[in-house]
Structures are given as structure tokens and as C-alpha cells.
Homo-oligomer: A and B are copies of this chain.
Amino acid sequence: MTPLSPPQPPLLPPPPRPVQKAELVRLSQTLLHVRALHWVVVEDAAAPTALRGALHPPERRDPPRASPPPRGPPWLRPRGVEQRNRALQWLRETRAPGESGVVYFADDDNTYSLRLFEEHPWRGRLAGGAGGGPAFRAAAGGGGRVVGFHTAWKPERPFPLDMAGFAVGLPLLLARPAARFDPQAERGYLESSLLGGLVSPAELEPKADNCTQVLVWHTRTEKPKLRQEEQLQREGRGSDPHIEV
């Protein structure tokens, strides 16, 4: 048989989740449309995950800047808090005061409309828009201010917004260096813990046509069933571990 395969790379540790590469490919292909984007990838692992080629094209790839320490069991702390705080720390360490920009906290399985990135001018403060699930959006009216929130869950929260439902002006973030996500925040209060250190609810600026457009969807990818792979492995015919999935 003619050896047609290219030389095989060394074995790599598998990604933490089976669908991680698919999600990164998909998200990177959306972000690839956006000019002047700086994508800070903060991994949920103690060391950078070897996902060669997940981002497209390679020259748009940002190396992981801040790998968090291993975190405790998920029932002890809200997920992804240390990671997001490390990203905030990195911004404060590397950006000059007054540097323009908008900071958005994205998740690899959410769905982002490109229209989200056409939302301008950002006035450099803090913006709330429609987002979350079908039952979750900020409601706006009256002089370009957010006058209330449409939510069923814990409406008494100061900022009952999903992580995907707001963006922060970089100058504001740099001017309030103490603002961060509280790892001890009660469930649902993580967003409020950051936002409370930045603005009052009345200072929110409605975006997305006065909060009437949904531009982000809180989609989740199903965990794939791997029974067939397990069966093949029991038979000694498992999938080639050199092929990255």
C-alpha cells in the first residue's frame, strides 16, 4: 500500500469537552467577519489545550493569555469566574488608560449575530441589549435609558442580565480597577457583582434598537453520545487518536 498519509503529529491530550473544537471553529468563523477584533481566549484548564488548527485562519489566532489555576468543584464556585477575572487583569495590565475599545464576554457555545458588532457608536460606557433566551431581554424606553428588565428569575437583582446581554467600554473598565466578578456571588448575581462596581442601573445605555432585537442566543451544544466509539475501542478498533476531532 502506498503511504499517502502525511507524517503524523505527536499524540496530544484530548480537549476537555468532545465538542470544544467544533464550537471554537464555529465561533471563530463568525468573529472572522469582524474587523478590529482582539479575541482573548481564556481556557478552562490549567494548561493551554492543544487544539491545533481549531481557529481559522491561523494568523487570527491569539495565544491563550491567561490560563487560570485549576478550580474547585463546580458546586463551590460559579463557573468561569476566575477565568473572566484573569482576562480583566490582563486588560488592565496591558492596555493604556483611555485606550478605546469595547469589552464583551463571549461563551464558545453561544450564537452571535454579526449585527451585534455593528452596534455603534458605543459611547464608552456600558450597554445593555436584548439577549439570553427567548424569555430574557432588557426592556427599554424613555429618553434612551433602560427603564426595566423583562425576566422571570430573581427580578430583584440589581442587574438581572445574562453575561451575553451587556458590553463594557474599555475606558470605564480601566478607570475602575477594583471592579471584578465576585467568586462568592450568589447564583444569578455574578453579572451584578461586576456591573455594580462600574455603574448604576440607570446609567445603562440601551442598544439593539432600544432593546427590541435579539442579537445573541444562549445556545448550548448537546453532549454527543460516544457509545459507538466505546464499542470500537473495546474491539481494539478505536478511532485514530492522531486525527483531531
Contact = CB atoms under 8 A, between A and B. Distances in A.
Contact of A152 (B152, B229, B245): B229
A33 B32 CA distance: 9
A123 to B, nearest CB: 16
Given A33-B32, A141-B4, A214-B245, A228 B111 contact: no
B217 A219 contact: no
A67 interface: no
A245 B214 CA distance: 6
A245 B1 CA distance: 54
A142 B1 contact: yes
Contact of A214 (B23, B222, B243): B243
Interface stretch (A76-84, A90-98, A132-140, A165-173): A132-140
Interface string A133-174: 111110011111000001111000000000000000000000
B142 A2 contact: yes
Contact of A5 (B4, B29, B141, B153): B141
Contacts of A30: 26, 29-30
Contacts of A144: 4
A212 B135 contact: no
Interface in A14-41: 18-19, 21-23, 25-26, 29-30, 32-33
Given A56-B113, A141-B5, A224 B134 contact: yes
Given A1-B141, A150-B239, A222 B219 contact: yes
Given A18-B134, A56-B113, 10 more contacts: A4-B142, A26-B26, A135-B232, A137-B243, A150-B240, A151-B228, A212-B242, A220-B221, A220-B224, A221-B221
A-B pairs with the 3 shortest C-beta distances? A135-B229, A22-B217, A152-B228
